[in-house]
Amino acid sequence: MFGFNETVAQARQRNIHDALMEDVGMHDWTAQLVPSKTVQAQLMVRQAAVLCGVDWFEETLKTLDPLAAITWHYQEGDMMKTDSVVCDISANSRALLSAERPCINFLQTLSWTASITRQHVDAIAGVSPNPQGCAVLDTRKTIPGLRQAQKYAVRIGGGQNQRLALWHGILIKENHIAAAGSITAALQNAVALNAGVDIQIEVENLTELEEALAADAKSILIDNFTTEQMKQAVALTNGRALLEASGGINLDQMREIATTGVDRISLGKLTKDVCAVDFSMRIK
């Protein structure tokens, strides 16, 4: 429909263009109040968090000042300490002041997503009886325009991605099943497309799970199951399909769910319940 599927790098360039367009536009009048010269600055973080978004930060600043230099004291994916220096910056004063908010906006948002993902990954470390372990996944409940960026942040936090977008995989949900007439019909239609992408189907009870397995489903989303039902689903499936738990799951439930033996847990909150990691930039 749109000619191509966007890569992370292409999405990053679009993100940066949009961020500078909406904030700077044709002119930053306030930046004109200072002399145009090279200045030194530091970026601080006020809370412990996973660093994510270095490329978004750097490329935003260098769009306005190609000669800007940034020395990072943490690498992407590192856990930053409270009240520590994240990076030292040398840049044109006007460019730095214009880029400051867009740069930090990217960093505070992506670092939050990486941090909350890391928290959920750590919560289930080593508790799954599944030989393959249990993975933490995101969903498509993302900030408009930042899909690739947030999905990237989930990976930096140690999670995995559910399908990136509609073009990336087939996920048959309750409305698709209703429109197709049955779970079996929906799966047959999906296979017939020969799209070369993964096919997953959502079920809401054990009866629907049995139908999906009988129709040779290889990836099944078990939605809003109790932990006891999850255990039954794992036993019933017996390795014939990948099982993914979803549906309003919170951090307190993660460990118990992982012990049922499901393969994956997906959470919309990793990307939709967005807070900001507290960063502060100061010119020396």
Point out the catalytic residue in the list 62, 140, 141, 218.
Answer: 141
pLDDT reading at 204 higher than 90? yes
Catalytic annotation present for 223: yes
Per-residue confidence (pLDDT) for residue 247, from 0 to 100: 95
Catalytic annotation present for 210: no
Instruction: Confirm if 201 and 218 have CB atoms less than 8 A apart.
Output: no
Chain centroid to Cα 278, Å, comes to 19
User: In the chain, helix, strand, coil percent, each to 5?
Assistant: 45, 20, 35
The pTM (predicted TM-score) of the whole model is: 0.96
In this structure, the number of other CB atoms found within 10 A of the CB of residue 272 comes to: 15
Instruction: Confirm if 190 and 170 have CB atoms less than 8 A apart.
Output: yes
Per-residue confidence (pLDDT) for residue 171, from 0 to 100: 98
**Would strands 198-203 and 135-137 be described as parallel, antiparallel, or unpaired?**
unpaired
Q: Which of 63, 2, 75, 93 minimizes the C-alpha distance to 283?
A: 93
34-78 per-position pLDDT tens digit = 999 999 999 999 999 999 999 999 999 999 999 999 999 999 999
Point out the catalytic residue in the list 65, 208, 223, 263.
Answer: 223
pLDDT tier for residue 1 given thresholds of 50, 70 and 90: confident
Radius of gyration of the chain (CA): 22
- Burial pattern 206-230, b for ≥16 Cβ within 10 A else e, equals eebbebbbebebebbbbbebeeebb
d(CA 58, CA 60): 5
Query: What are the φ and ψ backbone dihedral angles of 128, each rounded to 5 degrees?
Result: -80, 135
The residues, ordered by sequence, that sit 6+ positions from 284 with a Cβ below 8 Å of its Cβ are 39, 40, 41, 42
d(CA 77, CA 183): 40
d(CA 119, CA 23): 32
The predicted model gives 211-217 an average pLDDT of 98
Catalytic annotation present for 101: yes
Sign (positive or negative) of CA dihedral 113, 116, 119, 125: negative
Three-class DSSP category at 136: strand
The predicted model gives 187-197 an average pLDDT of 97
247-263 per-position pLDDT tens digit = 999 999 999 999 999 99
**Chain position carrying tokens 């044109």:** 92
pLDDT tier for residue 3 given thresholds of 50, 70 and 90: confident
Residue type, 171: L
Q: Which domains does the chain have, with CATH numbers?
A: 8-121+274-283 (3.90.1170.20), 123-266 (3.20.20.70)
Point out the catalytic residue in the list 147, 173, 231, 255.
Answer: 173
Angle at the Cα of 271 from the Cα atoms of 153 and 17, rounded to 5 degrees? 65
Q: Which of 249, 35, 237, 232 minimizes the C-alpha distance to 137?
A: 249
**Would strands 38-45 and 279-283 be described as parallel, antiparallel, or unpaired?**
antiparallel
- The mean predicted confidence, pLDDT, of the chain is 97
**Chain position carrying tokens 């049922």:** 260
d(CA 30, CA 75): 32
68-127 per-position pLDDT tens digit = 999 999 999 999 999 999 999 999 999 999 999 999 999 999 999 999 999 999 999 999
Catalytic annotation present for 173: yes
Catalytic annotation present for 252: no
152-189 per-position pLDDT tens digit = 999 999 999 999 999 999 999 999 999 999 999 999 99
Point out the catalytic residue in the list 14, 62, 101, 155.
Answer: 101
pLDDT reading at 215 higher than 90? yes
